[in-house]
Structure 1
Amino acid sequence: MEEHIREAEVKDIKRLESFLAQANVSCDGVADHIEFYSLLETRNGNLKACIGIEPAGSAGLLRSFVLSPGTSQGDVLLLFDRVVAMAEKKQLNALYLATNKEQAASFFQNMGFQKTEDLPVSLYKNSHMKQALDVDNCIVMKMPL
């Protein structure tokens, strides 16, 4: 089935929150930053994957990267490229992420992220980043834009 990627809109909030909830991913902040989300949909309009950015000053926190089973590697790369282009368009100067999974860290390293311990003050104030930093084995990564 053919898929397409597009920027999320206000009308997508409920559907996106439901998709994230099914994946046990927090929906906090989605409505406030819906214009920073990209969606991968089937031709029938079913959500297959999403990724979002929570802006914090001139930095962005990558979050809500959720993939349905069977999402192709090509679609994952296109979705990721789309969110990076969005961050650049919105004039963010770096993307950050936090994970406690080595496999995820390896994937993001291949996408251009590097491990870092230096965070901008704006991210230390971010509630999602605060939560992530409290998780055991938390790895913080940065991609300059």
Structure 2
Amino acid sequence: MFYQLKIAEEKDLGRLTDFVEKAGVSSDGVSEIIDYFVLMENGENEIVATIGVQPLNENGLLRSLVVSDKLKQAHILTLFQSIQTLAEKKGINHLFLVTNKEASVQFLSLMGFEEIDFKAIPKDLLTLEHMNGSLKEENAKIMRRTA
């Protein structure tokens, strides 16, 4: 199967929000940062994966990762590399994410993310609703990657 990556545009907003909401992921605030999302589409231009970064100064919070079960780990790796490149182009030097899955921690470590203590989270990131909601999840772990 052929897949292509693209940066989301305003015209993608409806189908992007539908895609993430079907997966049970919040689409709150997506419209304000639509050009901070990377989409992976199949040959029929259907979204099969997405990830976004919510910018805050030189920091960014990865959010709204939704991946079709048809994709392989290599596709997910490509998706992460694309969002990292987009973030760097937009002046984001530090990417943060919250996960509660140990398998994710291992995968993300291979991609250059490191687990950090809650005290190391920049205070401005704690003002983001998405960050606060994620931190309340059981076994939440914070990871960071510096450009």
Amino acid at match of 2:133: Q
Q: Please tell me whether residue 57 in structure 1 is matched to residue 53 in structure 2.
A: no
Q: Deviations over 1:63-95 (max 9, x none)?
A: 111110111222211111110000110011100
Match of 1:136 in 2: 138
Q: How does 1:42-121 map to 2 (within 5 A)?
A: 42-117=42-117, 118-121=120-123
132-141 or 6-15, which deviates more: 132-141
Moved over 3 A (4+): none
Q: Deviations over 1:104-132 (max 9, x none)?
A: 11111111100112011110111111111
Match of 2:65, SS state, is strand
Cα root mean square deviation, aligned: 0.9
User: What CA distance in whole angstroms lies between the structure 2 residues aligned with 1:78 and 1:134?
Assistant: 29
User: What CA distance in whole angstroms lies between the structure 1 residues aligned with 2:2 and 2:139?
Assistant: 38
Match of 2:17 in 1: 17
Q: Deviations over 1:6-37 (max 9, x none)?
A: 00000111100000011101101111110000
TM, length-normalised to structure 1: 0.96
Match of 1:125 in 2: 127
User: What CA distance in whole angstroms lies between the structure 2 residues aligned with 1:103 and 1:79?
Assistant: 17
Extract unaligned runs of 5+ from structure 1.
none
Extract unaligned runs of 5+ from structure 2.
none
Instruction: Give the Å deviation of 1:140.
Output: 0.4
User: What CA distance in whole angstroms lies between the structure 1 residues aligned with 2:15 and 2:83?
Assistant: 19
Q: Work out the number of aligned pairs and report it.
A: 145
Match of 2:84, SS state, is helix
Amino acid at match of 1:73: Q
Q: Deviations over 1:40-69 (max 9, x none)?
A: 001211111001001112100001111101
